[in-house]
Every structure is written in C-alpha cells, then in structure tokens.
C-alpha cells in the first residue's frame, strides 16, 4: 500500500522541478535584457555623437554667416557717409536693419545650439561612463547567469532521474490521482491539516479523518479540493 510520505516526496521533487523550469525560463530573458540595455546605451552614445557633429557644422556655418553679415553691415555703414540723397541713405539703412535682423536670428540659434551641445556633451560623458561600468560588469553577469543555467540544468536532470526512480514504488492509480490533482491545483497536490482544516482550501476535516491522517494509517484526500492530506508533527 502506498504511504503519504511517498506522495510528499514526489511533490517535493515536482516542486523543485517547477522552480527550475521557471528559473530556466527567466534566465534567458535576463541575459537578453542585459544585452538590450547595453545595445540601447551604445546606440544612444552613437546618436549623440552624430548630433554633436551636426551641431559643430551648424555652429561653424553660423559663425561664418555672422562674420559675413558683420562685414556687410560695416560696409553699408561706411557707405552711409558717401550717399548723396535721402533715398540712397534710407535704402542702405533698410538693408542694415534687415542684416541686423538676420544676425539676431543666427545669434539666437547659435545660443540654442551651444546650449544643446553642452548638454549633449554632458549626457554622452555620463552615458560613456555608465557604458564602461556596464561593459565591465556585463561579462561577469552573463557568465554567472550561464553558470546558474548550467547548474540548474544539471539539477533538473538529477531530479528527473530521482522522480523516475521514485514513482516506480507508487501505485499506478495513486500516481494518476496525484497527477490529476497536481494539474488542477497548480502543482500543490499534498497539504497538511491545520487544526481541523485542510491546509489547501481551509475546508473542515472530520475528527476521524484527522485521527487517521495523524496515524498515517490510510491515504486521505480533502472532500472539498481533493488534495492529499498529511499531518505535520512539527
């Protein structure tokens, strides 16, 4: 006749196998998250450096434009002293005002680009420092994860072997019942009696059943949730 201890041992093995299955499912995701984190940081640094080059080109272009405009303004100011009519004077003054307006717009844009460049340089420096730290740690973290995966895989093989050897001693009908309960109750087929209640669903367990479970005379299940019952003496 099967004993409840055989069922408890089987559930213990299955619980460990379930934990390993979840762990092995999560670890590849964690490794992938690390890779994605590194890739995103690398891409951000590269994008930042591309934008820096664009800003440098814009700033150099603006510097050249401002120089040319200032030359034109100075030239027109000199011409103001040479004009012979109000019409010529007004035309030159209008052109000077127009050039000053262009100059103001370029200077404003230059200040904006300069601010953006400074902030971008700070961001890139910070990201490169973070990338160095991440790159230095990433290999170690990947290695540790891979080692853990290998160890878990080895443990899984051992547990599967232990399970195969263990279920030989369990009656086929009892094993079938255990499997049905295990599938229906999310891997929790065996529960202890707490006071006079099922430790799985809290349903009342009759005193006679409690007594027999304590004596481990027969295998009993909860009338409510169908889980196997055992008495935890600790």
| Model pLDDT for residues 184-206, shown as the tens digit of each residue | 888 899 999 988 999 999 999 99
| Model pLDDT for residues 148-180, shown as the tens digit of each residue | 888 888 899 999 999 999 999 888 988 999 999
| Model pLDDT for residues 208-220, shown as the tens digit of each residue | 999 999 888 788 9
pLDDT at residue 28 greater than cutoff 80:
no
Torsion angle, alpha carbons of 201, 206, 212, 214, to 10: 60
> φ, ψ for residue 27 (rounded to 5)?
-60, -45
Torsion angle, alpha carbons of 55, 56, 59, 60, to 10: -150
Of 21, 28, 25, 30, nearest to 155 by C-alpha is 21
**DSSP bridge pairs for 186:** none
Q: What is the pLDDT of residue 45?
A: 94
- Using CB atoms within 10 A of its CB, is residue 113 exposed (0-12), middle (13-18) or buried (19+)? middle
**Length in residues, the chain:** 234
The Cα 168–Cα 155 span in angstroms is: 20
Longest dimension (CA), the chain: 126
User: Is 138 within 8 Å of 36 (Cβ atoms)?
Assistant: no
pLDDT at residue 76 greater than cutoff 80:
yes
Question: Mean pLDDT of all residues in the chain?
Answer: 90
| Model pLDDT for residues 132-155, shown as the tens digit of each residue | 888 877 787 778 778 888 888 889
Q: What are the DSSP E strand ranges found in 183-226? A: 190-194, 197-198, 220-221
Q: Is the pTM of this model over 0.85?
A: no
- Going from the C-alpha of 64 to that of each of 24, 53, 152, the distances in angstroms are 61, 17, 65
Q: What is the pLDDT of residue 1?
A: 45
pLDDT at residue 113 greater than cutoff 50:
yes
| Model pLDDT for residues 87-103, shown as the tens digit of each residue | 999 999 999 999 999 99
- In the chain, the domains with their CATH numbers are 4-169 (1.10.287.1490), 173-230 (no CATH)
User: Is 48 within 8 Å of 127 (Cβ atoms)?
Assistant: yes
pLDDT at residue 234 greater than cutoff 70:
no
């Amino acid at each position: 006749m099967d004993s409840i201890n055989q069922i408890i041992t089987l559930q213990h093995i299955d619980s460990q196998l379930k934990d390993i299955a979840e762990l092995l499912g999560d670890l590849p995701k964690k490794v992938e998250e690390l890779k994605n984190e590194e890739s995103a940081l690398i891409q951000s640094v590269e994008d930042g450096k591309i934008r820096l080059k664009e800003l440098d080109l814009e700033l150099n272009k603006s510097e050249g434009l401002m120089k040319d405009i200032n030359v034109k303004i100075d030239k027109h100011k000199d011409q103001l002293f040479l004009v012979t009519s109000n019409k010529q004077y007004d035309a030159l003054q209008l052109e000077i005002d127009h050039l000053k307006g262009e100059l103001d717009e370029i200077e404003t844009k230059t200040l904006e680009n300069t601010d953006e460049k400074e902030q971008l340089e700070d961001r890139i420096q910070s990201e490169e420092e973070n990338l160095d730290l991440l790159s230095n740690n990433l290999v170690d973290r990947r290695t540790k994860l891979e080692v853990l995966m290998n160890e878990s895989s080895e443990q899984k093989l051992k547990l599967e072997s232990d399970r195969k050897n263990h279920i030989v001693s369990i009656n086929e009908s009892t094993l079938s019942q255990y499997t049905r309960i295990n599938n229906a109750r999310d891997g929790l087929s065996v529960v202890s009696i707490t006071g006079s209640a099922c430790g799985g669903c809290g349903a009342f367990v009759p005193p006679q059943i409690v007594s027999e479970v304590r004596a481990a005379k027969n295998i009993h299940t909860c009338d409510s949730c169908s889980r196997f019952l055992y008495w935890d003496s600790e």
